[in-house]
Amino acid sequence: MDLSARPPDGRSRRLPAVALPALAAVLPAAVAFAGALHAGFVLDDLADVVGNPAATAARFVERLPQTVRPLLKASYAVQDWLHGPWAPGFHAVNLLLHVATTLLLLVLLRRAVRLSAVAVLATALWAVHPALTETVTYVSGRSAGLSALLLLGALVLATGPVRAGTVAAAATCAALAPLARETALVLPALLLWWQLTVGRGESVRTACTRLLPVLAGAAVGASVLAAMPGHRTLVAFSLQARPPLDALRGNVHAMADILGYWAMPWRISIDPPQPQAWGWLELATLVRTAGLAVVGGTALALRRRAPVAAFALGWTLLCLLPSNSLIWRIDPVGLKPLYLASIGPALLLAAVPMRSGGAGRRFGMAAGAGLGVALAAMTVQRTALYADPVALWRDAVDKAPERGRPWIGLGLALLEAGRRDEAAAALAAGLAREPWNPAAREGLALIEATRNIGSDLLQQ
């Protein structure tokens, strides 16, 4: 027998089994979002990253007590120290975070489902969806990307072999994740839901060994946030803006709207419409509340018979709850919460064909691959918009011409580009739709002032 032909420990045989699925999931994500490297700073980037003293190396420590999301600001400050306000560097880090998160998700889903093909397809469908552009392509979306990386890292560590080192590492990730984005405090609930669905069969002692360190880590992160004046002020402002029950009513509509963007990605805009102020007993509120209750009830009912489907449904609801429950946000409909929440729909979509056999399964996988290509193409197009603020806002206007904010955003982008006449027309259109908007009035006043200055210079 030729012993030289036999792998000594099986590693050479296992390598392709690991590398090929990873490549199939990561490569589409990297290609779909590669255009982000050509984008600049847009919108909130100018205030949160470039113009924020807490995001600079020189003043990060000084401003730390007043800031929010300290780990996020630390990442900005490190890059400021390395290369200053260089947009490609910030975009490259966002892209690397997404690639790393994609790998972690693949590991987690391979543990959740029996078939590797389902895990690969679900991960790829999630990783190339255009709803993720607000997290990956948009520098200010890093809060969602960085916290998701740490959250999934904690889950991968907590659901793997129980060792002292991995348990401690999971607790550390759980403590750090909310310091990038406070919504990561949902991590213990996600781990518990994992244990109740796809992770069933373990003893209570083993389940507690996995859960309690993560819970302790999340408690440490929550304590740090509670001790920071900036976070306390933010929570107080949100509670003052709307009482918890009023916030919950609005967020019922916001959750449904957010999920709608995953199902209909062609509607995605940099400025999505916000929910109307429906009453609790109005039909629109009753229908959406009933819909969310049905999803939650279905997840509980399927927990034993179809644990993967139950896990996917419950995961989606749990990921949306921190940002869309009792705390009100100025813009409750946004795409950043979808970064984690959309893992659930992607898993459901990939797992459905696996319930059939033979030709049905092959057709389902081929259809899933075709959908992935279509989503990736949409992401390439959407990512390209971030390289041109005028094009980004014109896209928003085309999708909602009846709203004022997209017109005002377009006008300000045109003004920044030096196209004053077009800017004035867009700002006037926005002001006609939102007469109370100060940004439109200030923009028009600035245009008029520059025209007067130019006229004075010509007369001289």
Q: Would you state the structure tokens that stand for residue 394, as one six-digit string?
A: 């014109």
Q: What percent of the chain has pLDDT over 70?
A: 93
User: What torsion, rounded to 10 degrees, do the Cα atoms 243, 433, 139, 81 define?
Assistant: -90
In 3D space, the residue among 420, 87, 415 whose CA is nearest the CA of residue 79 turns out to be 87
Rounded to whole angstroms, how far apart are CA atoms 138 and 153?
22
CA-based angle 83:89:92, to the nearest 5?
155
Residue 459, pLDDT above cutoff 60: no
> What letter would DSSP give residue 2?
-
Residue 423, pLDDT above cutoff 90: yes
Rounded to whole angstroms, how far apart are CA atoms 103 and 86?
27
Query: What pLDDT score was predicted for residue 116?
Result: 84
| pLDDT band for position 15 (cuts 50, 70, 90) | low
| pLDDT band for position 392 (cuts 50, 70, 90) | very high
Residue 54, pLDDT above cutoff 70: yes
How many residues does this entry show for the chain?
A: 460
Query: What pLDDT score was predicted for residue 4?
Result: 36
Q: Are 212 and 204 in contact (CB under 8 A)?
A: no
Give per-residue pLDDT as tens, 155-206: 999 999 989 899 999 999 999 999 999 999 999 999 999 999 999 888 999 9
Query: What pLDDT score was predicted for residue 431?
Result: 93
Q: Are 405 and 434 in contact (CB under 8 A)?
A: yes
Residue 242, pLDDT above cutoff 90: no
Query: What pLDDT score was predicted for residue 355?
Result: 66
Instruction: Write down the mean pLDDT value for the chain.
Output: 90
Query: What pLDDT score was predicted for residue 453?
Result: 55
More confident of the two residues 242 and 18: 242
More confident of the two residues 238 and 315: 315
| pLDDT band for position 452 (cuts 50, 70, 90) | low
Rounded to whole angstroms, how far apart are CA atoms 35 and 32?
7
In 3D space, the residue among 277, 271, 282, 285 whose CA is nearest the CA of residue 402 turns out to be 271
Query: What pLDDT score was predicted for residue 19?
Result: 80
Residue 422, pLDDT above cutoff 80: yes
Give per-residue pLDDT as tens, 327-369: 888 889 999 999 999 999 999 999 877 666 677 777 888 888 8
Query: What pLDDT score was predicted for residue 179?
Result: 97
| pLDDT band for position 5 (cuts 50, 70, 90) | very low
Give per-residue pLDDT as tens, 244-287: 899 999 999 999 999 999 999 999 999 999 888 889 999 999 99
C-alpha distances in angstroms, 140 versus 25, 146, 150? 25, 11, 17
Q: Which residues contact 436 (CB under 8 A, 6 or more apart)?
A: none
Residue 378, pLDDT above cutoff 90: yes
Give per-residue pLDDT as tens, 89-116: 999 999 999 999 999 999 999 999 977 8
Query: What pLDDT score was predicted for residue 3?
Result: 33
The upper half-sphere exposure of residue 348, i.e. CA atoms within 13 Å in the direction of its Cβ, equals: 18
The whole-number average pLDDT for the span 125-134 is 96
Q: Would you state the structure tokens that stand for residue 150, as one six-digit string?
A: 């740490």
H-run or E-run covering 58: none
Phi then psi dihedrals of residue 322, to 5 deg: -60, -35
Q: Would you state the structure tokens that stand for residue 84, as one six-digit string?
A: 């200053």
| pLDDT band for position 17 (cuts 50, 70, 90) | low
The whole-number average pLDDT for the span 376-401 is 96
Residue 23, pLDDT above cutoff 70: yes
In 3D space, the residue among 386, 430, 383 whose CA is nearest the CA of residue 406 turns out to be 430
Q: Is the pTM higher than 0.75?
A: yes
Residue 458, pLDDT above cutoff 90: no
Q: Which residues contact 272 (CB under 8 A, 6 or more apart)?
A: 257, 261, 333, 334, 335
The whole-number average pLDDT for the span 128-155 is 97
